[in-house]
Amino acid sequence: MFEVFESTESEVRSYCRKYPVEFSKAKNAEIFSVEGERYIDFLAVAGSMNYGHNNPEIKAKIVEYLSEDHIINALDMYTQAKEEFLQTFKEKILEPRNMNYKVMCCGPTGTNAIEAALKLVRKNTGRSGVIAFSGAFHGMTMGSLSMTTDRTSREGACVPLGHVTFAPYDGTLDSIAYLKWILEDDHSGVDKPAAIFLETVQAEGGINVASVEWLREIRRICTENDILMVCDDIQVGNGRTGTFFSFERADIQPDMIILSKSISGFGMPMALLLMRPELDIFRPAEHNGTFRGNQLSFVGGTAGINYFVDHHLDDEVKRKEKIVARYIEEEILPLDSRLSYRGMGLMWGIDFGKINPAFALEAVHEGFDRHIIMEVAGRKDGVLKLMPPLTIEDEVLKEGLAIVKASIEAVLKKA
């Protein structure tokens, strides 16, 4: 059945090894195989389908655009689709939050926007080094990979990855004290960095949630030391944590913000770098890309923002957050006292680290046999990651959680 994939496609493929089914259709939080088998989606295509598969309101706008022979790719030329997206983003996302950022349309992937941010923080400060955090995942191109910490990803580079100093993330050692020591001790051996890059919730790192106090302290340290604060909101932005930007809970504003994945509203390639206006010092074409003008992404992005606002998706996520947290606490944690969990919004992790990290991947396989799609994250892939579309219906969410419980039970019984 998979002959053409196995004989023709590269060995680098990964997700298909966890989910060995040929998929055909999808609707909201459900995916269907070519045979018509239904699977509940607790992965949301790595967070790129926050508004659900084939969201009818967003899809209608894209179909309408396509039906009228509008331009599809336009590099960075002026277009009506881009104008509408920028205006909508400004009026419905930035201005209500008293944010003033310039918007850079990067290449189609989040890692491209990270690369642009790395260039720009260095260009603005004249410094080459940056600080990132253990547990970080910022992408797989060379600059982004230099700030990504998992060993397997880094080994793929096959060259030294430098110009980055790693600090412990919130909850690991005394992160703030370590940062202060790096910056204040003239014998720390670390040059003053151009920027601090962070995720407010480390997704691939194991669903590590930074505290409000820690985020505010990072902002203060950056301000006092003339260091740029860059927030990677690629996976945890676009409403995933219950607010459009994941850092809103801390009442801070980074100097730069990276958005991708669900910013296109429909799972199409799109990446943005937001920056304070005075940081916008690139010369024309100093960072570019052929597909930074994907018009369908602009159309979907506009529709996605309207959907987020019109359907009060932030409030919906906070409501569903309680459903998930309560279920984990009351139904899953009692299965074994060594289990722990963490998360917020609709991003949760169940940690098997104190039992056996390998059980997390076994739970993914057990879950797939029961028709749910999940992923692992964290140290030794020991965290079972739950990340359904934000639009998932309550009954489907609860059905999925019940399957998660059954899968974990099956793994624990085998042990």
Cβ neighbour number for residue 99 with a 10 Å cutoff:
15
Q: What is the DSSP letter of 53?
A: B
- State how far the alpha carbon of 353 is from the alpha carbons of 1, 205, 253, 337, 410, in Å: 36, 13, 34, 12, 17
Write the CB contacts of 161 (distance below 8 Å, at least 6 apart in sequence): 142, 145, 146, 154
φ, ψ dihedrals at 168, nearest 5°: -70, 140
Asked whether the beta carbons of 345 and 321 are under 8 A apart, the reply is yes
Summarize pLDDT for 339-359 with one digit per residue, the tens: 999 999 999 999 999 999 999
Please tell me the distance from the alpha carbon of residue 230 to that of residue 275, in angstroms, as a whole number: 9
Summarize pLDDT for 307-318 with one digit per residue, the tens: 999 999 999 999
Q: What is the pLDDT of residue 415?
A: 80
Cross-strand bridge partners of residue 264: none
Q: Please give the structure tokens belonging to residue 166.
A: 């790693």
Q: Please give the structure tokens belonging to residue 297.
A: 């992404």
The upper half-sphere exposure of residue 23, i.e. CA atoms within 13 Å in the direction of its Cβ, equals 18
Max CA-CA distance within the chain?
Answer: 65
Please tell me the distance from the alpha carbon of residue 177 to that of residue 361, in angstroms, as a whole number: 35
Task: Determine the average pLDDT of the residues in 146-162.
Answer: 94
Assess whether pLDDT exceeds 90 at residue 1: no
Assess whether pLDDT exceeds 90 at residue 296: yes
Radius of gyration from C-alpha coordinates of the chain: 21
Please tell me the distance from the alpha carbon of residue 172 to that of residue 266, in angstroms, as a whole number: 36
Q: Which of 127, 126, 107, 129 is nearest to 116 (CA)?
A: 107
Percent of the chain with pLDDT over 70: 100
Cross-strand bridge partners of residue 294: 73
Residue 376: pLDDT band with limits 50, 70, 90:
very high
pTM: 0.97
Place of tokens 């098997």: 352
Assess whether pLDDT exceeds 90 at residue 195: yes
